[in-house]
Amino acid sequence: MKNDIKHKKSMKNISFNLFLLPVALLMLFTAYGNLKAGDNGKYMGYALKVNEFDTAGSRITVLSDGEVNIINSGGSILRFRVNKDDELRTYHCGIVFIHYIFNNGWINKYKTFDINGSLKGDDEFEDLAIVEYEIRKMNLLHAKFEVLNEADGNIEMKDAKDEIVYMKAYDSKNRLIKENYISTKEYWMANNVLYKP
């Protein structure tokens, strides 16, 4: 008798779960559809404006705020924003495109461009258009990133004095603006493409 009751309960749970499965799948596909909404052909056309961005093997992600990320086969990212009609929108100071350049999973540079794909700096920050990173102590960086990842970046690291990552910043005419060691937190934010003009 007890086994019959257990069997009926488990069958009831299975039936209920089978009923919920299509609902959950529908919700998942709806969310995925919103994520991928937009005109991918138009987005690739925009990406072609930035000549140095290699579109080979690209995949496109569109976020709810109209931000588009195109990630190529090398792991580099081209980011821009569109309005509800899929037309380009500007970031701060007329910057339209941000190109994050990665090498073996580590960001080594980012550049900013105008609507025509020409190098464009941030007018409020000495025409800042290019930032390059050089990792000088990889083992120490790995250890620091483990701590930062564990805390989701919510931890301060004032460790520029440890000379782990060196940064150089250039303007839109490729003139050096500044160079110095930065904290691993700053590099962690860059590596997680959290920079936006």
Two tokens at 138?
């990889």
The residues near 36 (Cβ < 8 Å, ≥ 6 apart) are: 60, 61, 62
> Using CA of residue 154, residue 159, residue 164, residue 168, what is the dihedral sign?
positive
80, 133, 125: which is closest to 109 by C-alpha?
133
The pTM (predicted TM-score) of the whole model is: 0.79
67, 58, 103, 106: which is closest to 88 by C-alpha?
67
Calpha distance 137→130 (Å, rounded): 22
Looking at residue 39, what is its pLDDT?
Answer: 77
Two tokens at 75?
């792991």
Contact 66, 47 (CB under 8 A): no
Per-residue pLDDT of the chain (197 residues; tens, 9 = 90+): 545 544 444 444 444 343 333 333 333 333 333 344 567 899 999 999 999 999 999 999 998 889 999 999 999 999 999 999 999 999 999 999 999 999 999 999 999 999 999 999 999 999 999 999 999 999 999 999 999 999 999 999 999 999 999 999 999 999 999 999 999 999 999 999 998 87
194, 190, 188: which is closest to 159 by C-alpha?
188
23, 76, 68, 27: which is closest to 45 by C-alpha?
68
Contact 172, 127 (CB under 8 A): yes
The residues near 59 (Cβ < 8 Å, ≥ 6 apart) are: 70, 71
Calpha distance 168→181 (Å, rounded): 9
